């Protein structure tokens, strides 16, 4: 049988059909009452997961090339939960220039940060997207961050960053910060790297990167 | 030492390790300069507060002036 037909009480009919080459497959209906949606009823997600993993090894950095940071999205969101191998290290971000070289000098970024307990930091000459606050490396200590960045692949606009972070200590204390940053030159930044300003990122750290549809 | 690029663990070359260590030295120096600036700012703030108090202002009045 290629199809079955369900006749409406008043009029018409609905045909449920199998493809011509159907293979051997099972379609299981939900064991609940409701109306099934068509694919045309389901919106495509606007928040698209591009990459993510829990690290199984210590690494010096987490980098995304133009294979991941493409021109498809203007805005990206990166969530990270990172533990440093070195106590008191800071989560920093760097982008590549338009030739793919990592930008690392104090003329490459500007950063502004408000940190809990009243620290107000503003510097137009930082060597990274710089958070001021640091994270411990004891068991249970880690840094949790959300970095949003926009126009990273635009050649005529500077890449801008918004970020929020909390550094968690074993004593149950936390250091909250929020800030913004820019890459100083408007260019097509061909990739992005997350790292600590000192030491490696510990195994067990994790991240997930999303692209945001315009 | 490994780096992690687009989901792949890659052993770094000797040149890359050297570059990373050199960059870390610069980054630690940068952080120290930031911490020094922030510490100086706190010292200036405390000194300014004390001078205002020496003029006869209360802590509440100083806080009101500096927005705390």
Find the range with the poorest average confidence among A39-53, A86-100, A149-163. A39-53
Identify the pLDDT of residue A175. 86
Residue B61 pLDDT class (50, 70, 90 cuts):
very high
Structural domains present in chain A: 3-39 (no CATH), 47-212 (2.60.120)
* Helix, strand, coil percentages for chain B (3-state, nearest 5): 70, 10, 15
Residue A14's contacts (CB-CB under 8 Å, 6 or more residues apart) are: A5, A6, A8
Cβ distance of A62 and B4 shorter than 8 Å: yes
| Cβ-based contacts of B31 with chain A (< 8 Å) | 90, 197-198
Whether chain B has a CB inside 8 Å of the CB on A92: the answer is: yes
User: For residue B4, what pLDDT is reported?
Assistant: 98
Contact check, Cβ <8 Å, B27/A58: no
Q: In what order do the strands lie in the sheet with B2-5?
A: A91-95, A192-196, A61-64, B2-5, B8-11
Residue A208 to residue A51: CA distance in whole angstroms:
6
| Per-chain mean pLDDT for chain B | 94
Q: Say if strands A174-183 and A160-168 run parallel, antiparallel, or are unpaired.
A: antiparallel
User: Which ipTM score applies to this complex?
Assistant: 0.83
pLDDT at A114: 94
Q: How confident is the model at residue A1 (pLDDT cuts 50, 70, 90)?
A: low
| Average pLDDT of span A160-177 | 88
Which of B12, B26, B38 has its CB closest to that of A60?
Answer: B12
Residue pLDDT, tens place only, A118-131: 788 999 999 999 99
pLDDT digits (tens, 9 = 90+) for B22-54: 999 999 999 999 999 999 988 999 999 999 999
Contact A68, A49 (CB under 8 A): no
- A79-88 pLDDT per residue, tens: 999 999 999 9
Mutate to test the interface with B, among A54, A59, A108 (most CBs of B within 10 A): A59
Q: What is the pTM of this model?
A: 0.84
């Amino acid at each position: 049988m290629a199809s079955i037909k369900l006749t409406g009480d008043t009029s018409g009919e609905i045909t449920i059909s199998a493809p011509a080459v159907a293979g051997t497959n099972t379609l299981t209906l939900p064991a609940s009452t409701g109306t099934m949606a068509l694919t045309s009823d389901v919106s495509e997600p606007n928040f698209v997961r591009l990459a993510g993993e829990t690290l199984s090894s210590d690494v010096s950095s987490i980098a995304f090339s133009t294979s991941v940071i493409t021109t498809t999205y203007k805005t990206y969101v990166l969530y990270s939960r990172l533990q440093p191998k070195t106590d008191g290290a800071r989560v920093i971000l760097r982008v590549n220039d338009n030739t793919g070289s990592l930008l690392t000098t104090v003329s490459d970024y500007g950063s502004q940060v408000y940190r809990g307990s009243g620290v107000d930091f503003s510097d137009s000459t930082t060597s990274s997207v710089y958070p001021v606050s640091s994270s411990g490396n004891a068991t249970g200590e880690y840094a949790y961050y959300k970095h949003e960045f926009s126009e990273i692949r635009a050649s005529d606009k500077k890449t801008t960053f918004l970020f929020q972070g909390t550094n968690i200590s074993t004593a149950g204390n936390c250091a909250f910060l929020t800030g913004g940053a820019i890459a100083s030159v408007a260019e097509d930044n061909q990739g992005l790297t997350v790292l600590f300003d000192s030491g490696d990122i510990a195994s067990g750290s994790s991240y997930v990167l999303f692209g945001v549809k315009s | 030492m490994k780096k992690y690029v687009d989901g792949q663990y890659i052993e770094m070359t000797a040149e890359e390790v050297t570059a990373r260590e050199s960059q870390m030295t610069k980054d630690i120096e940068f952080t120290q300069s930031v911490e020094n600036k922030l510490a100086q700012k706190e010292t200036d703030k405390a000194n300014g507060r004390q001078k205002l108090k020496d003029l006869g202002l209360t802590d509440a009045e100083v806080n009101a002036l500096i927005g705390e």
